[in-house]
Chains A and B, each alone.
Chain A
Amino acid sequence: MSEIQRESGSFRDPASFVFYHEGRVFRCVDEETWSCLNDMTKAGLLSRMIEGGLVVATEGSAGGDIPADIQSILPPGTRCLRHRKIQQISYPYEWSFSMLADAALLHLDIQRMLIEKGLALKDASAFNVLFEGCQPVFIDLGSIERPARSDIWFAYGQFCRMFLYPLLAKLHRGMDFRQVFMGSLDGLQVDQAYRMLGFWKSFAPGSFLDVFMQNLFAGKKVGQATQVGQSLRVEGKTDPAVQLVNLNRLQRKIEGLKKSFRVGSMWSEYGDIRNYSDQAIDEKKRVVREILNQYRPRSVLDVGCNTGEFSFMAAEAGASVMAVDYDHDAVEALYRTAKRKKMNILPLVADLSNPSPGLGLFCEERQPLLNRVGGEMVFALALIHHLMVTACMPLEAISRLFAQLTETWLVLEYIDPQDGMFRELLAIRKDYFSGFSIEKLEAGLSDHFGVVSRHPLPGGLRTLLVLKKK
């Protein structure tokens, strides 16, 4: 009898939790939530959401699928659902601007559809969304309830903390999501948002209601919360039209923020391109295409994806791609393009020499990055010099990192220290690398990798290596 494994991040809500059994994903919900979901199913709303790609595919496993040992340990009256398993797990601190904005818009779409049926989302956590390629998908069906009143949204405060304030802080103050969400899994607090934006930006029409006014009323006096709580109890029906006005307003605002965010710094990365002759670029593309055709990997991780050129190639060759880069704007530009072209690429902002660790309760609630990214094949193109010089990683560490990231193949571009790209990084640094050579590289990787083939590029200073994990 195989083990059931409870999802370590799913514990806050007493009404629902997620567990795994034999590679399948189940969610337990209490009677109330089950009845809400039932109503949704009867009204055809749940299937509409699933077919529209808003919500993860779900079946009500009433009886049937659930192992008997699980049934016996669950409290009586607990119902189970089965979710389709989403392979790519990413967190808000790895998303780019438009990704967080799209996750926010998804919440608003779902909430709008729910309030028509007298239901609502009880929370608005950015961690309730996973990206499949460029498509945000809502996964927390346990969050659906029948609210006490429908003219206000109880999760609106959390929606602001998780989505609106971080977007404003990134747009106006350049504060990365990583800094926000790794510091606090609940997002940016209203007083922090107000202080970060300052009086004038908070008072501006775009932020007046959500930042300035909310901060004004934020409960600082003892007993205020109780008073508010008492005034919330209401007799009779409340009008969802009021809430709809607010949701539409929020949607317009977030769409506006998306338009306002301009990608900038990515163009400076093009400095690398300057060092390639047209011949060399064409040859490099040809070789990568050949490698993809030969090995046909199911999944590819493109490390240091930059403009995403090779991620596109891998996606076109049929692989499911994760593309990681340290530069936020490069990831943002890649997301916008990949989304428009509907490509199977999940772009993420991450520093693989400082990856996110386990976070939250017992450091298990959110999994470390290195457990979640990887692929059958890893691309490390135009990257080695950054790892060695900028990140100061020794070869043993580089070898170990790639061994952890890849299942089998590694396509790595060797760059000679004489090459322009390398020399540019060394311009004001002490030169430890004059002795570096392709032989040294292969030797440094030999504890984890064996070389399968070498493809020198025109110019004599760069070579693509195909390596296989031992």
Chain B
Amino acid sequence: MILAYIDPGSGALILQLLMAGIVGAGVYFRRAIARIFGFRKKKPEDQPRADSDE
């Protein structure tokens, strides 16, 4: 698997891998929080619905 024909810079790669980890975790948490709180906050008049697990 050829990855790059220019020097990608190991610093740049490591930084992005770290960011990928953090952002990925952030996206996961945001989705989890939205599932718990999101529906209730946006539509208070609706009945709280059962979430379908993905």
What residues make up the interface of A, taking CB atoms closer than 8 Å to B?
12-15, 122-123, 125, 148, 151-158, 160-161, 186, 190, 209, 213-219, 224-225, 228-229, 231-233, 238-239, 241-243, 245-246
Contact = CB atoms under 8 A, between A and B. Distances in A.
B15 A158 contact: no
Q: Chain A's interface: helix, strand, loop or mixed, by majority?
A: helix
A434 B20 CA distance: 70
Nearest to A214: B11
B1 A158 contact: no
B7 interface: yes
B14 interface: yes
A157 B13 contact: yes
B5 A190 contact: no
Given A231-B17, A245-B23, A218 B5 contact: no
Contacts, number: 95
Indicate the size class of the contact surface on chain B: 20 to 34
A214 B3 contact: no
Given A152-B13, A217-B15, A157 B27 contact: no
Interface string B4-26: 11111111111111011001100
Contacts of B15: 209, 213-214, 217
Contact of B5 (A12, A231, A238): A12
Contact of A232 (B11, B13, B24, B27): B13
A160 B6 contact: no
A219 B20 contact: no
Given A152-B17, A156-B16, A242-B23, A218 B3 contact: no
Contact of A154 (B4, B19, B20, B23): B4
Contact of A123 (B1, B5, B11, B24): B5
7 contacts: A123-B5, A151-B16, A152-B16, A155-B6, A155-B8, A214-B12, A246-B16
Given A123-B5, A155-B4, A213 B27 contact: no
B7 A158 contact: yes
B3 A224 contact: no
Contacts of B1: 148, 233
Contacts of A214: 9, 11-12, 15
B20 A152 contact: yes
Nearest to A226: B10
A218 B14 CA distance: 9
A219 B10 contact: yes
Given A155-B4, A232-B3, A233-B1, A216 B20 contact: no
Given A151-B20, A152-B20, A14 B14 contact: no
B5 to A, nearest CB: 6
Given A154-B3, A154-B4, A213-B15, A224 B23 contact: no
A96 to B, nearest CB: 25
A198 B8 CA distance: 23
Contacts of A216: 11
Please give me the 7 A-B residue pairs with the lowest Cβ-Cβ distance, nearest first. A157-B9, A157-B12, A219-B10, A214-B11, A218-B11, A152-B16, A217-B14
B20 A157 contact: no
A228 B13 contact: yes
A156 B12 contact: yes
Given A122-B4, A160-B12, 7 more contacts: A123-B6, A155-B4, A224-B10, A228-B14, A232-B17, A242-B23, A242-B24
Contacts of A186: 7
A104 to B, nearest CB: 15
Contacts of A228: 10, 13-14
A14 B13 contact: no
Nearest to B13: A228
A133 B17 CA distance: 39
A77 to B, nearest CB: 17
Contact of B19 (A190, A233, A246): A246
B32 to A, nearest CB: 16
A225 B27 CA distance: 29
B19 to A, nearest CB: 6
Q: Which of A13, A15, A155 has the most CB of B within 10 A?
A: A155
B7 to A, nearest CB: 7
Contacts of B17: 152, 231-232
B24 to A, nearest CB: 6
Nearest to A124: B6
Contacts of A239: 24, 27
A225 B10 contact: yes
Contacts of A125: 6
B11 A157 contact: yes
A190 B16 contact: no
B5 A160 contact: no
Contacts of B27: 239, 241-242
